[in-house]
Structure 1
């Protein structure tokens, strides 16, 4: 195999760099002279902002540190490639850089919008007689890419969310207050509630779990929400609720818009959500008189590599590794996907699938996995998610803290 390039795009995860490592290891096994990294994704690639990964991974603890480094080691971006028609110059610029660096294969690690980049580049290559190959590597804590059973990054985020829920439940229960206290935990998730659903994993022999979990797959009813809190408060003094940031009212508005959130949009036209938890906490205080506060897990849920799932870390590496193998076989315009073979013991394989049925599509939590009252998850979800959080990738400590690999 000739030279290859790998990039990262969109929101990072705790294990995204494992996919970079997988690409690197496979490419080197196949004889690649250079494995280039795009600094800040396709945007950096267009500016020829590339590094040689050999400089970081061929000595010392580089590979082990990379695997344990959260967020995007190469830097990420949210750059949207324009449509091909009328914008051929941008695409020709991509291929000019590939030819200058003698790059045969392009690997892009990301979610929905990143897979659209892979689709458009592979389509342009096919229609213009280009021989370079383009492969997508799935990555998203949102777990909303279709076809693949789950996405690398989700398992570690789910592990962090479930662990954090256990800890905040323990904290609020220890206060011993006589006046009911309500805690709202706001979790990422615009249209798909996979992350908030992970709060259900906190329930076990040593934890009662959340008193309700609200996902964007169901319309949010404020009156039912308040009624449920009042009912729970009749039997205990603490109420803990998990909510997706993207829960909506019956009229389509995001709950956070009730207090002025979601005013700005990103380059892909997505509203920037903020303040759902605070909005609900204020609603509880004003309507019930209970003490209420909100916690927003924010970027912590996608960057907590110290609590990464070993299963997730291993699958992130495998997704990158098998992407290179697919390209070596001549495949292009595809994404690596995870195929679940069985739950107990958990077994998963890696395959590839046509990018055209994946890009710009979104997979939500199955309706049948949400309880009839809309406030929880069924055992089917637990069986699906539990294997993904299993195992621990122990940090390499430096001066008492987890060590990371840093780009020069």
Structure 2
């Protein structure tokens, strides 16, 4: 048949231990999750500040629906931009210290929109090798030339920029603030120097840094000692530490005006539901003002790393809520995750192509909802399963 390749490729995924399928969870996202009538301690969520099921946000969504309805009714440039969207935009600008901002339905869509909008065949895109798939895919689809520098390697970035000098009309350097699979942070100050010295724009994708790092949760750029407004493009999502969904892109007023006039993903996508925008505003306020959430999370991170060291469990170089345990083999990583599930721990095996070949890992994520006893139990279980395997 014409589509035999579908079954062939699916079978190849199964044989390589790379097959994926959704797991249906029931009930709210939180410290505990229920799958197929079994309850697990959840160590796979990006809900770093424990906001996704917070009663205040549930109430905010209900209030937002009563005040503004559920659906936005259209794209932002038609009927989809409600006063609540304008209020959220103003709030985020004030919190993050940026000049202008545009809302998007997802971080994936926002990243695709930026690269497609800005870069043409005479332009250069330079990305950290471990950037998110949304950035990499957009780069392959764009007409521009794309090169990748070794992860967080400023010498390699400098070499590539020198090699490409004079060959591109416009240059855009992109890095994540906190890398989603490794949990380490970008050297944003050094990236900004490279961009300035080479007349390039710098974009930071701070999906995993917003709310968690920096003064009042302002993110990775502020944590690095700079201002978000120092970045030509700063984007992040509301679906990680803020616990809701959607994303934004920030920059100069001229850049955001250009985006809203020429970006097809922005122009032709239905606006965020007003009730959702209202909830995001409440989540942003909580992230900004409730510093105890970040303090507790940092204590949990330190406890986890200390306990792993005491139990000879090797971790990556991460001081964030993302704590990878590199196994290497996809099959062994899946086996480790499956055994932990039998012991009541929900952890996720991350495999190629999400991460490089031979770097499959158990991606442990910590949230404010966890307690130290939860972490002690997890580390004990990991050590036990590693010994058995």
Report if TM-score (shorter chain) is over 0.5: no
Structure with greater proportional helix content: 2
- The TM-score, its normalising length taken from structure 2, stands at 0.26
- The TM-score, its normalising length taken from structure 1, stands at 0.25
